[in-house]
Homo-oligomer: A and B are copies of this chain.
């Protein structure tokens, strides 16, 4: 069963790819087998992370970029990070509509990944999904995030090339988001470049970039686009290629890959240690009991954790 699924994934069958990603998302017992099998086959795709504030037009930009790659004869995978409702876990309606529109394009695979429950693991699941798409023969894998939170920043950091999308007239917003994402941008886009204030936003951005210190000495280009009218898309593709070549040759590329691998191991290790602990006899029940005690202030969380870890060790 798993062997069959893996074979189809490696052959690039979209439905098998979708199924494999679901296994990862749901922490299926088959997840480890799938990842062990696909991992050695991955590494050829260019992984592009795209982030920016809500309303910057990232979705249109991603769509147009994907279509451009497709026109060049490339296969494109898109993974959308959906900071979905922590309660319902539902996907965004607009996203579903979009998926059915783009998804009918041959050689474009689009998948929305929603966070489920409280345990996190989204970052790791996303990186695994990218590896699956890579192994399935997609030439470009685009990871698109909605928010600018820490999770999103970490996901985008695992990409080969990180693109940060801004819009003119953000004013204070550039200040607000700069600390979060300014330093992770390898390429900057000012989208909706027919709006007023482009020049000002560009000048502010240049000023901020001139202050930033990049250990790899790369000077991030600023690309102006109007995604809805398909303007500037080729410029963006060119800028992405340029950074990809640059970092592949630089020593910093190797350092970056090591840092990503390390982060990935730590994420996976945390998940694994916790699930091993909770699988032990009585630990889950004890956790529930202690949660009530902590909620009622009869026990502090640190002592409760001492208790859970001690129980496991004994």
Contact = CB atoms under 8 A, between A and B. Distances in A.
A82 to B, nearest CB: 6
Most buried by B among A153, A172, A301: A301
B154 A86 contact: yes
Contacts of A203: none
B295 A261 contact: yes
Contact of A294 (B151, B172, B178, B264): B264
Given A148-B54, A265-B308, A297-B43, A179 B291 contact: no
B148 A150 contact: no
Most buried by B among A82, A153, A178, A179: A179
Contact of A268 (B35, B93, B153, B302): B302
Q: Interface residues of A toward B: which range? A: 35 or more
Contact of A287 (B35, B86, B262): B262
Contacts of A309: 269, 272-273, 276
A310 to B, nearest CB: 11
A83 B274 contact: no
A300 B265 contact: no
Contact of A86 (B39, B157, B177, B271): B157
B118 A154 contact: yes
A106 interface: no
Nearest to A55: B173
Contacts of A94: 172, 175-176
Work out how many copies of this chain go into the complex.
2
A55 B152 contact: no
Contacts of A54: 53, 148, 173, 176-177
A287 to B, nearest CB: 6
A260 interface: yes
Given A39-B301, A172-B55, A263 B295 contact: no
Contacts of A36: 300, 302-303
Contact of A179 (B82, B122, B297): B82
Interface stretch (A9-17, A65-73, A180-188): A180-188
Interface in A205-254: 254
Contacts of A154: 86, 118
A86 B183 contact: yes
A305 B266 CA distance: 9
Interface of A: 32, 35-36, 39-40, 42-43, 53-55, 82-88, 90-94, 115, 118-120, 122, 145-154, 157, 170-173, 175-184, 254, 257-266, 268-274, 276-277, 287-288, 290-292, 294-297, 300-305, 308-309
The 8 closest A-B pairs by CB, nearest first: A149-B149, A39-B300, A83-B180, A147-B149, A262-B291, A261-B294, A273-B273, A261-B295
9 contacts: A35-B302, A39-B301, A54-B176, A85-B182, A86-B153, A94-B175, A265-B304, A269-B274, A269-B305
